[in-house]
Chains A and B, each alone.
Chain A
Amino acid sequence: MFKKVLIANRGEIALRVIRACRELGISTVAVFSEADRDAAYLNLADEKICIGPASPTDSYLNISQIISAAEITNADAIHPGYGFLAENPYFAEVCATCGITFIGPSSKVISTMGDKVKARRMMMKAGISVIPGSENVLTNPDEAVKIARKIKYPVLLKAVAGGGGRGMRLVDSETGLREGYVQAQQEASQAFGNGDLYLERALNSPRHIEFQIMADSEGNIVYLPERECSIQRRHQKLIEESPSVAVDSKLRRRMGHAAVRAARKSKYVTCGTVEFLLDTKGKFYFMEMNTRIQVEHPVTELVSGIDLVKMQILLAAGEKLKTQQDDVRISGHTIECRINSEDPNNDFMPSTGKITRLILPGGPGIRVDTHIYQGYEVLPFYDSMLAKLISEGCTREEAISRMRRALDEFVIEGIKTTIPFHKLVINDEFFQKGKIDTGFVQKRIYPASSTPS
């Protein structure tokens, strides 16, 4: 087992990993940028090291500073959290070269799954349906037009190196495709340094369903109850829940087995997530695999009773998976709302500044994962997520009513947050009935301000 883990991240997830390590009796090293110097969670780590100025490229993305910090503190493993270096195959490789365990899958797996075209090809080989589309990287707009005619409009242009909806365009005509091609290419090369695109048929009102898997180095793989993440805005997840109202035990088994096949085919070790789109007829398609711990992992923790961050650390340390598929149970229902420092009344504009008043919700069935506190300064350099508000109940109805209560209790003053948005969704009739898909926010919450995606 590891003696000391360095956490190459900040905010909520850094705190989450510190907590898991403390429970496991592992010492922690927190790294921070000059802008995060006063963050309270840093004091919960056994050691803390400043790794650079506020700009992420100079600090949380600065591989040499982070590796040096691990070396001078004698950390034997690095937890990358999510975002930043979590899915950077080069970073995983550098860790391995330096004799530091990267808490995640191998560099090779990260690299394959990070290339969406390669990942699609691998899944096809594993017998998992992928969304009809281009088999290779698109070479020019003419080729895209040819493929689009075959698979039929509307189609989705996506970045090979993609993520977070950047470099993505939904188009429903040849003209739109030609225009979108140039825009998406530019956006992708700016965001990922790689402008390669591929094409997929755009499904009609799909649900986003994903499966958490856990895998050990001996090839034991288990899937956990699904998460439904259909409440999105511009491809950014805002609300996740488990289980999904659209998945019965038979479909769960089929999708879960597909997720396990995906993990086995890629020789995956530790925790990961296989994302699918589920169409209205119950057919599901592989979308991508996330080779990290995800933001929404708590919903799975609460319904399954498994601490995923601790499990991830144990599996990275070479422990054998003790959970068998038959041991996995679903207990009740869980919902998570991502509370972001954005103004939902002003096109989700990021909001920064000091939190002048903070009252966290609590009571039965409420969990809040957050790094903020009264007096905390929300900085413009980093992600806008402030807190994850998670409710659980015996039924979906109870989880919803607890979420509604908790959103009412939650007070954050000094900055704008997405709490009002979540209240709209939670009180929506369609949401309450579970009639949701990835177009829900655009169709039900902001029908007037429909924005091109």
Chain B
Amino acid sequence: MNNSSRDLNLIRQFVQTLKDTDIVELVWERPGIKLGVKKESQDFVIQPATAASSSAKEPSKPSLEQEDVSKTAPQDSGLTAVKSTMVGIFYRSTEKDGNPLVKERDLVKEGQPIAVVEAMKIFKEVRATRDGKIVQFLVESGQPVEYGQKLVLLKT
């Protein structure tokens, strides 16, 4: 009884401390106790699969799909979309089958390369437009993108 109420208190304090952070997942283990914490901002909802797969088949669709995403991700949530400055093929890494430059949840600095767009064998880096955390990639590696298409959501 005593132990468990103390544990409960500890957990409460723990959650309170985490309240104002961005932590998405944390696992804390001690003998006899394992605490897992996941925290996800609930103010935006994203459906990545539909946006990515339908636009791959039909280049006329992506703009519409992304409008939907931006609507569910209001400006005041601190989300910014990094857009493509050229028409081409979007890649997450600079080499074929290489490691992605960044992953979702990575923290990035303004100007940091986060992906590339290739056109006519020329690779152009997509750079983070501000400091922040990669929330989500809106297009899959190898997918064609148009000018101004939203590629990555950043949270600041």
Contact = CB atoms under 8 A, between A and B. Distances in A.
Interface of A: 29, 34, 37, 45-53, 59, 64-65, 67-69, 71-73, 98
Nearest to A37: B63
Which of B58, B60, B88, B144 has the most chain A CB atoms inside 10 A of its CB?
A: B60
A72 B59 contact: yes
A48 to B, nearest CB: 5
A64 B147 contact: no
Contacts of B59: 29, 47-49, 72-73
B146 interface: yes
A37 B148 CA distance: 11
A64 B119 contact: yes
Contact of A65 (B58, B63, B87, B149): B87
Contacts of A29: 59
B86 interface: yes
Given A47-B58, A47-B60, A73-B59, A68 B148 contact: no
- B: contact size bracket: 10 to 19
Contacts of B119: 64-65, 67-68, 71
A65 B86 contact: yes
B90 to A, nearest CB: 10
B146 A49 contact: yes
Nearest to A29: B59
Contact of B149 (A47, A50, A71): A50
B88 A68 contact: yes
Contacts of A47: 58-60
Nearest to A72: B144
Given A49-B87, A51-B147, A69-B146, A64 B120 contact: yes
Nearest to A59: B147
The 5 closest A-B pairs by CB, nearest first: A72-B144, A68-B119, A68-B87, A50-B146, A49-B146
B101 interface: no
Nearest to B59: A47
A221 to B, nearest CB: 35
B73 interface: no
A418 to B, nearest CB: 33
Task: Kindly name the residue among A34, A49, A67 whose own CB sees the greatest number of chain B CB atoms within 10 A.
Answer: A49
B69 interface: no
A73 B147 contact: no
- Which one of A45, A47, A69 has the greatest number of beta carbons of chain B within 10 Å? A69
B contacts with A: majority SS: loop
A52 B147 contact: yes
5 contacts: A50-B63, A50-B146, A69-B87, A72-B88, A72-B145
Contact of B120 (A45, A59, A71, A73): A71
Contacts of A49: 59, 87, 146-147
A47 B149 CA distance: 15
A59 to B, nearest CB: 8
Which of A34, A59, A73, A98 neighbours the largest number of chain B CB atoms within 10 Å of its CB? Answer: A73
A29 B60 CA distance: 9
A33 to B, nearest CB: 8
Given A71-B120, A98-B120, A51 B58 contact: no
Most buried by B among A49, A53, A59, A68: A68
Contacts of A59: 147
A157 B7 CA distance: 94
Contacts of A72: 59, 87-89, 144-145
A70 to B, nearest CB: 9
A37 to B, nearest CB: 8
Contacts of B86: 64-65, 68
A168 to B, nearest CB: 36
A128 B87 CA distance: 45
A423 B89 CA distance: 51
A50 B60 contact: no
A34 B145 CA distance: 14
A71 B146 CA distance: 12
A354 to B, nearest CB: 22
A224 B61 CA distance: 42
Contacts of B89: 72
A82 to B, nearest CB: 23
